[in-house]
């Protein structure tokens, strides 16, 4: 038989449990309602893919998305590695095939095989354990402003000619995935003679921008008539401006491929929301947004906009082993005079 004291103690225990449950539920709610993504600048820009897919994801799930732009893909990975003991984001986006092994080896990513994984062709898979899910791909190329330069280069070697002095904008391979992609391109073509090539190239380089966004912006402002970008860049200009002025130069040596990926960080504050976003990446809503916002090829094949007729497809694609890039960044920068 319970005494009044027992009743009060029992009631206190019930109230305490309910309060604890309420506090737990209150803490759980943001885990389901919010997602933080570290990404590169152009993805998060008002004209980029980020706002489009974030809204579509929010509409479909009720989960709000915070896009945090951190320079270029290399900077995104570096920030996540720096925060490994206290992750501030749930997902990193923009880690490509040249950075993938470094990202996996750093131990910051949690493997997750998303819905629709089987729609990705095997040559686009970044990691057998799916620490990274690919979302788009493209081929690097030198873009030529035909209004500013009469005769363009026809090869990597041509870029070293005196007539192209201070006419080329590149991106820094330490911070930029296109910058690292160009380095991989020269490594694949020149091998052990890569540093010698960069010494010959140095007079042609106007600047090494920290990221693609800044480098391409300098190009479109007329600072130089040649810039590192993608074979698909002319499609953008054809869609929103006039096709034909900006051209992707196809080189006989072939062109390196870039595959971009997304991964969940270990210790992600909003793990369930992160998994939901990963399941969203290979959906039609995400993949349909890629061609006219990120100006790359969707990793799940589909019909492309008419403006992609201006995007030439290289006959030869190069896939460089990232392991062979060790030490190459330093030697290339040394050859450029330590820029």
pLDDT, tens digit, 9 for 90 and up, residues 223-258? 999 999 999 999 999 999 988 999 999 998 999 999
**Averaged pLDDT of the chain:** 89
Above 50 in pLDDT, residue 25?
no
Token pair 């209150």 is at which residue?
Answer: 26
Which helix (H) or strand (E) element contains residue 292? helix 290-293
- For residue 167, CA distances in Å to 163, 227, 230 come to 9, 8, 18
Number of helices (H), then strands (E), in the chain: 13, 12
What are the phi and psi torsion angles at 259 (to 5°)? -120, 125
Q: What is the C-alpha to C-alpha distance for residues 102 and 98, in angstroms, rounded to an integer?
A: 8
| Residue 135, pLDDT score | 98
Residue-level pLDDT at 27? 40
Dihedral angle at the C-alpha atoms of 110, 184, 125, 315, nearest 10 degrees?
160
Predicted local confidence at residue 336, as pLDDT: 79
Strand blocks (E) in 131-230: 133-145, 168-171, 205-209, 226-230
Residues whose CB falls within 8 Å of the CB of residue 310, separated by 6 or more in sequence, listed in order: 234, 235, 237, 238, 243, 244
Angle at the Cα of 84 from the Cα atoms of 39 and 278, rounded to 5 degrees = 45
Instruction: In whole angstroms, give the CA distance from residue 148 to residue 12.
Output: 80
Q: Are 142 and 176 in contact (CB under 8 A)?
A: no
Percent residues over pLDDT 70 in the chain:
90
Q: Per CATH, which fold does 140-257+309-335 belong to?
A: D-Maltodextrin-Binding Protein; domain 2 (3.40.190)
Same fold for the pair 27-137+258-306 and 140-257+309-335? yes
Parse the chain into domains and list their residue ranges: 27-137+258-306, 140-257+309-335
- pLDDT grade, residue 329 (50/70/90)? confident
pLDDT in tens, 88-125: 999 999 999 999 999 999 999 999 999 999 999 999 99
pLDDT of residue 339: 58
The three-state secondary structure class of 335 is helix
pLDDT exceeds cutoff 70 at 12: no
Q: Find the mean pLDDT for residues 64-86.
A: 95
**What does DSSP assign to residue 300?**
S
Residue 246's nearest CA partner among 117, 165, 145 is: 145
pLDDT at 121: 95
B/e letters for 315-338, b = 16+ CB within 10 Å, e = fewer, are: eeebebebeebeebbebbbebbee
Q: What pLDDT band is residue 209 in, cutting at 50, 70 and 90?
A: very high
Nearby residues of 210 by Cβ (< 8 Å), 6 or more positions away: 71, 72, 75, 171, 172, 175, 176
User: Quick one: pLDDT at residue 338?
Assistant: 61
Token duo for residue 179: 């910058």
pLDDT at 246: 97
Q: What pLDDT shows up at residue 32?
A: 64
130-176 pLDDT tens trace: 999 999 999 999 999 999 999 999 999 999 999 999 999 999 999 89
| Size of the chain in residues | 339
27-137+258-306 is classed in which CATH architecture?
3-Layer(aba) Sandwich (3.40)
Q: Which of the four pLDDT bands, split at 50, 70 and 90, describes residue 334?
A: confident
């Amino acid at each position: 038989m319970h005494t009044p004291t027992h009743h009060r103690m029992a009631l206190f225990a019930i109230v305490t449990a309910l309060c604890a449950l309420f506090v737990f539920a209150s803490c759980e709610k943001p885990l389901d309602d919010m997602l933080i993504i570290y990404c590169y600048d152009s993805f998060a820009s008002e004209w980029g893919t980020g706002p489009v897919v974030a809204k579509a994801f929010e509409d479909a799930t009720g989960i709000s998305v915070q896009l945090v732009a951190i320079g270029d893909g290399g900077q995104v990975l570096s920030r996540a590695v720096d925060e490994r003991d206290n992750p501030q984001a749930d997902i990193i986006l923009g880690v490509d095939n040249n950075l993938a092994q470094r990202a996996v080896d750093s131990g910051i990513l949690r493997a997750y095989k998303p819905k629709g994984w089987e729609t990705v062709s095997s040559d686009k898979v970044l990691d057998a354990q799916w620490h990274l899910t690919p979302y788009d791909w493209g081929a690097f190329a030198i873009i030529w402003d035909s209004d500013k330069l009469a005769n363009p280069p026809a090869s990597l070697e041509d870029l070293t000619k005196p007539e192209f002095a201070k006419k080329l904008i590149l991106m820094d391979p330490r911070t930029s995935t296109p910058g690292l992609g160009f380095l991989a391109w020269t490594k694949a073509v020149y091998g052990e003679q890569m540093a010698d090539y960069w010494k010959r190239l140095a007079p042609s380089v106007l600047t090494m921008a920290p990221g693609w966004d800044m480098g391409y912006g300098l190009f479109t402002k007329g600072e130089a008539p040649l810039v590192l970008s993608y074979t698909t860049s002319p499609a953008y200009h054809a869609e929103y401006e006039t096709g034909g002025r900006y051209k992707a130069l196809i080189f006989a040596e072939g062109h390196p491929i870039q595959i971009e990926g997304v991964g969940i960080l270990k210790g992600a504050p909003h793990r369930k929301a992160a998994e939901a976003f990963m399941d969203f990446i290979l959906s039609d809503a995400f993949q349909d947004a890629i061609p006219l916002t990120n100006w790359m090829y969707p990793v799940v094949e589909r019909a492309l906009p008419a403006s992609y007729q201006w995007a030439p497809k290289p006959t030869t694609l190069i896939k460089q082993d990232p392991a062979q890039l060790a030490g190459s960044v330093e030697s290339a920068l040394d050859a450029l005079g330590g820029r």
